[in-house]
Amino acid sequence: MSNNQFIEFFDGGQEPTLDSLGGKGSSLVTMTAAGMPVPPGFVVNTQAFRTFMHSGLSDEIAEQLKGLDPEDIAAADAASAAIRDIILSRPVPEELANATEAAYAQLQSRFESEVPLAVRSSATAEDLPDASFAGQQDTYLWLNGYRQVAEHIRACFASLYTTRAIIYRIKNDIPDEGLCMAVVVQKMVNAKTAGVAMTLDPTNGDRSKITVDASWGVGEMVVSGTVTPDNIQLDKVTLAVIHEHIGDKHAEMVPDEATNTLVEREVEEARRTVRCLSDNELAAVAQLAKRAEKHYKAPQDIEWAIDADLPEDKNLLLLQARPETVHSAKAPEAKPTGTGYSSSLGFGSIAASLTKISG
Amino acid sequence: MTMKSFPKPSDLPVPAGAEGWEEIYPYYLVFQDALKEQEDAKFWFCDSSHWPTVFKPFETIGGEFAVKCLGQYNARHLMIPNANGIDFRVHLGYLYMSPIPVPEDQIAARVPEFEARIGAYFSDWENKLAAWHNKVKGTIADMEQLRFDPLPEIVPFEDIENGVGKDGSQILLENYDRLIQLTYQNWQYHFEFLNLGYIAYRDFFNFCKEVFPNIPDQSIATMVQGVDMELFKPDDELKQLALLAVELKLSDLFSNTDDPQSTLAAIAAAPGGERWIAQWEAAHDPWFNFTIGNGFYGHDKYWNEYPEIPLGFIADYIRRVEEGAQILRPTQKLIAEKQRIVEEYADLLDAETAEVFEAKRSLAATAYPYVENHNFYIEHWTMGVFWRKVRELSRMMADAGVFEDPEDLLYLGRNELRDVIFDLVTSFGIGSGEPIAAVALPAKIAKRRQIVTALKTARPAPALNTPPESITEPFTRMLWGITTEQVQSWLGNDEDAQENVLKGMAASPGAVEGVARVIMHADELSQIQPGEILVAPITAPSWGPIFGKIKATVTDIGGMMSHAAIVCREYDLPAVTGTGSASTTIKTGERLRVDGGKGTVEILVDEPVLSGPGAHSHHHG
């Protein structure tokens, strides 16, 4: 996918920077580059934001904010509304509008028919105290068509000017000149099958295993424990299945095209009694978990989904990766018990191991 | 749960026509009435992996030498703390085994001896193994020298002149005894390193199971297994010959390999044929001392005596090369994959444990390849020479009027045969020229033929008597794949048992679907069509060339380290071993799903499944 001065695709192959893509955007690019396939998409970068704002908007906005009394909530509300109206209504510079529309078209060209997208703000400074209420974590789901997407990119920009954000900046003497934002545009996951995977055995912390829970539809029901998923344990090195338990999987949550929301429905009998992952899919999930563990250098607990809109070898998506905390905090490996294991030519240990009842 | 039992020996029906079968084997090989109580109290499992078909009396030699010599290394050489040898009997023609445990209170006392003895080998492995090769090859060279020439009409005048004072019959008697002795000698050597290989493997295996609970057995095997093995050399030679034939444009001359003489003559006469024939000849010694059987039967055919066998395999390879197939084993890929697996497991351990892991792994990796490679030297090469010499003897004796048919020899025990040789020598010496055998043996041999034929109509029981609560003897588990779970599954006590699903050892990973081809005997190998799934009581590594054309392998008996398992891992084919009954349950032509990672074989029922609104399932009568 081709990047340009305003757009960076997750798989565009460019080194991400926080300044240009914000936290969320650069993390998605980094993960894609590391072989962790997040739902495909692109980032509208901070250069795009600045180009838009500098096309005359910033003067108009400054006008609205001039002499505003931070204690006068009604005046601040009015200014906020006016500014948001400015951001949502002014023409976008042609170059930027063309770049965004082209990126939208390129993304959609990966699917057989147009798919719904999500638009999320990606802040460049998420650790600032105002980030949490400055609209920098806006997420808009199930957007259909370029027009909706473009509108919501602006909505992300506009969210920098909520009443609370305006008042906060005036009180803390933070100038508007430094305000910046990138926006992530990403495919909505249309999960055929989804679940979680841990890069260890959660029952004993054995790091030579991968444990997968999987069920039909999106992963929410697995995470919340409202279905009994298929539970599979694999050897981490060879990916051989060590044991598996087919869960009942009585219900699934799937996107409803009419309402653009998720709906819960019953799973028919035939799909309940079979494993919801093929051998290849299972191996791919395990590989994905391994890559996440390697990338983050610690045992991981990942959420994944198999997307119905993507081609077979590219349909496994990583939705979230976080460090596993329960066992990782403990000693990394249970030491073998018994004697003689420390001597390198331990014939003593051979006798011990041979006479032990095992395996 | 009530423990089910296998039948007692005396419960098994004697097939019609096999009455009196006990008389054809030596007394010490059959269950004794006087020992019934003790023998019935023991658990015996049938080793149909090495001895899948009924012994003719002479053929018990391989079973007796092999199991006796295995036992001596446990019980007398190495002093394995918890395992003595394996007791064995022939019952209704099949070999049953019962491991002899070491009494609990004697185990500790054996440990220091054991450590000293294995230490002597493990710390001097390369030298001792090099010496082993010399010893074994020396034995074979001595066997090759043995001749079974016809006795002379009269003592040559030369011997009279030189005052030799002997009629030449002593050479026949000596050479017969020598043949038996030398074979026995190599069977003793066979186990000199084998038990050690298993010990080192077992030690690493147990360590892995401790630090990586539930680690698949396959992973452990892969980490110590050799990639470039001598056992694969004969097959590799055929592949090279096939590639050379293609290169020299000789492919068309392989259209009728059933006629080896004409085929070889046509090749020799063709341009470039001389070079091919030279390579073909060079491969014979030693690599064509290779049997499509397993070395334990008189009917086993060896490549160097049946050139149509290797030529047929070569023709098959040529066809595949011309179809664009890659026939050479993916050695580099296998080495890289093995390396990756070792490194990834080691990386999961802390530094100190990783060091122990590597020490144990490298010991096992040093000792284990013997387990794979020895087979060529003993079962193929030594036994190939042995049976060839036996056939020389039997032909000579038939010519001398002792037997009606050279194959009659196999219906005598090896010690009975010695008497018959003396009968021949006597008739020669006294000048009658008519051995008593000519009149005394035919009825006896005919009766024995009838008994063996009758015994062959029944398959062996997988085991006899009541199994122990758990099978803990390390060698039984490893060599024969006899585990507690396996025994329970044979008894039908498997709680998870599903209809149409056979369970066995997950011996080589991968899952495939395909059509079954049941092969009960090596002579049927040519029936296998490309892409079929091989189902057999056992496989022999010498079936090498067919592994390039099948999709998966299923066997009745054998563990993770059985030959089928080793070869399939080498060829990257799924394998399920030790199913107990696959070859009798599955029929040629049935569709199977073989999962070598889970150890399951599913017989797929092709009946269409109707579903959807208005559909109802129904069965056709």
Give the list of residues 6+ apart from residue A36 with CB closer than 8 angstroms, or none: A288, A291, A292, A295, A318, A321
A161: Cα within 13 Å, side-chain hemisphere:
25
Residue B50 confidence class, pLDDT cut points 50, 70, 90: confident
Range picked from B92-96, B367-371, B579-583 for highest mean pLDDT: B92-96
The residues near A232 (Cβ < 8 Å, ≥ 6 apart) are A211, A212, A214, A241, A243, A244, A245, A275, A277, A282
In chain A, what percentage of residues exceed pLDDT 90? Answer: 56
In the structure encoding, which two tokens stand for residue B584, read together? Answer: 């009798």
Picking from A137-146, B50-59, B331-340, B351-360, which range would have the lowest pLDDT averaged per residue? A137-146
Which one is predicted more confidently, B611 or A177?
A: A177
β strands within B490-551, DSSP E: 501-503, 505-508, 511-518, 533-536
Q: Residue A219: which pLDDT band, with cuts at 50, 70 and 90? A: confident
Residue pair A288/A316 in contact (Cβ under 8 Å)? The answer is yes
Q: Which of A213-222, B64-73, B482-491 has the lowest mean pLDDT?
A: B482-491
Average pLDDT of the segment spanning B564-569: 79
Closest partner residue to B611 among A270, A333, A344, by Cβ?
A270
Task: Sheet containing A139-143: give its strands across.
Answer: A7-9, A41-44, A181-187, A117-123, A139-143
Q: Which tokens in the block code for residue A76?
A: 């601040």
Please give the Cα distance from A211 to B136 (Å, whole number).
50
* Mean pLDDT confidence for B365-390: 93
How confident is residue A346, by pLDDT bands cut at 50, 70 and 90?
low
Give the CA distances from residue B183 to residues B27, B64, B68, B379, B382, in Å, rounded to whole numbers and listed in that order: 22, 12, 13, 11, 7
Say which residues have a Cβ less than 8 Å from residue B567's Cβ, sequence separation at least 6.
B539, B541, B543, B544, B547, B553
Listed in sequence order, the residues at least 6 apart from B235 whose beta carbon sits closer than 8 Å to its beta carbon are: B313, B544, B545
A237 contacts B107? CB cut-off 8 A? no
Average pLDDT of the residues in B476-505: 74
Report pLDDT digits (tens) over B145-165: 999 999 999 999 999 999 999
What pLDDT score was predicted for residue A347?
66
pLDDT of residue A136: 55
The structure's pTM equals 0.79
- Pinpoint the alpha helices (H) of chain A: 18-33, 46-52, 58-65, 73-89, 94-108, 145-158, 163-171, 220-223, 269-272, 279-296, 347-355
Helices (H), B49-106: 60-72
Under the banding of pLDDT at 50, 70 and 90, the label for residue B232 is confident
Taking CA–CA distances from B481, the nearest residue in chain A reads A359
pLDDT at B509 over 70: yes
Mean pLDDT score, A39-50:
95
CB contact, 8 Å: B350 with chain A? yes
Checking if the pLDDT of A342 tops 60, the result is no
Neighbours of B38 (CB within 10 A): 9
Kindly give the residue spans of alpha helices, DSSP state H, lying in A174-309: 220-223, 269-272, 279-296
To the nearest whole Å, the CA of B371 is away from the closest chain A CA by 18
> Which residues in chain B have Cβ-Cβ distances shorter than 8 Å to A341?
207, 353, 356
User: In three state form, how does the secondary structure of A27-47 look?
Assistant: HHHHHHHCCCCCCCEEEECHH
CA A331 vs CA A207, A321, A324, B203, B522: distances in Å: 11, 22, 13, 25, 54
| CB proximity B223 to A under 8 Å | no
Question: If residue A263 lies in a helix (H) or strand (E), which one and from where to where?
Answer: strand A261-266
Distance from CA of A265 to the nearest CA of B (A): 18
Checking if the pLDDT of B452 tops 60, the result is yes
Q: Is B518 helix (H, G, I), strand (E, B) or coil?
A: strand
Percent of chain B whose predicted confidence (pLDDT) is above 70: 94
Alpha-carbon distance values, A83 to A155, A162, A163, A186, A272 (Å):
11, 9, 10, 27, 53
Q: Which residues 6+ apart lie within 8 Å of B152 measured at CB?
A: B167, B168
Using a CB-CB distance cutoff of 8 angstroms, which residues of chain B are in contact with residue A270?
A: 611
Model confidence at B612, pLDDT cuts 50, 70, 90, reads very low
Looking at the predicted structure, is the pLDDT value of residue B423 above 70?
yes
Residue identified by tokens 């200014």 is A79
pLDDT at B599: 85
DSSP H helical segments within B376-510, as ranges?
A: 383-399, 414-429, 437-455, 474-480, 484-490
Look at A259 and B186; give whichever has higher pLDDT: B186
pLDDT band at A23 (very low <50, low <70, confident <90, very high): confident
| Predicted confidence (pLDDT) at residue A283 exceeds the cutoff of 80 | yes
Mean pLDDT of chain B: 89
- What is the Cα–Cα distance from A133 to A137, expressed in whole angstroms? 8
Q: Identify the residue with better confidence: A330 or A200.
A: A200
Q: Give CA–CA dist A16/A22, Å, rounded.
A: 9
The complex's ipTM works out to 0.74
pLDDT digits (tens, 9 = 90+) for A61-109: 999 999 899 899 999 999 999 999 999 999 999 999 999 999 999 999 9
Give the tokens for residue A146. Answer: 């370029």
Ranges A125-129, A277-281, A352-356, B556-560: which has the least confidence: A125-129
Spell out which residues of chain A touch residue B81, defining contact as CB-CB under 8 Å: 351, 354-355
Q: What is the pLDDT of residue B614?
A: 38
String of DSSP letters for B246-291? HHTT-GGGGTTTTSHHHHHHHHHHSTTHHHHHHHHHHHHHHHT--B
> Cβ contacts (< 8 Å) between B205 and chain A: which residues?
359
Contact between B350 and A332 using a beta-carbon 8 Å cutoff: yes
Q: Is the pLDDT of residue A329 over 70?
A: no
Element containing residue B96 per DSSP (H, E): strand B94-101
- Confidence tier at A336 by pLDDT (50, 70, 90): very low
For A299, name the nearest residue in chain B, comparing CA atoms only.
B348
Q: What are phi and psi of B481, to 5 degrees?
A: 65, 25
Checking if the pLDDT of A261 tops 90, the result is no
Q: Sorting pLDDT into bands at 50, 70 and 90, what band is B371?
A: confident
Has residue B288 got a pLDDT over 50? yes
Tokens representing B516 are 């079954």
**pLDDT value of residue B616:** 38
pLDDT at site A257: 77
Cα separation of B217 and A104, whole Å?
50
The DSSP letter of residue B208 is: H
Range with lowest mean pLDDT among A140-149, A338-347, B296-305, B354-363: A338-347
My answer on whether omega of the bond before B286 falls inside 30° of 0, hence cis, is yes
Tokens representing B65 are 């030498």
Q: Is the pLDDT of residue A274 over 70?
A: yes
Percent of chain A exceeding pLDDT 70 equals 89
For residue B486, the model assigns a pLDDT of: 74
The span from the CA of A108 to the CA of B157, in Å, is 103
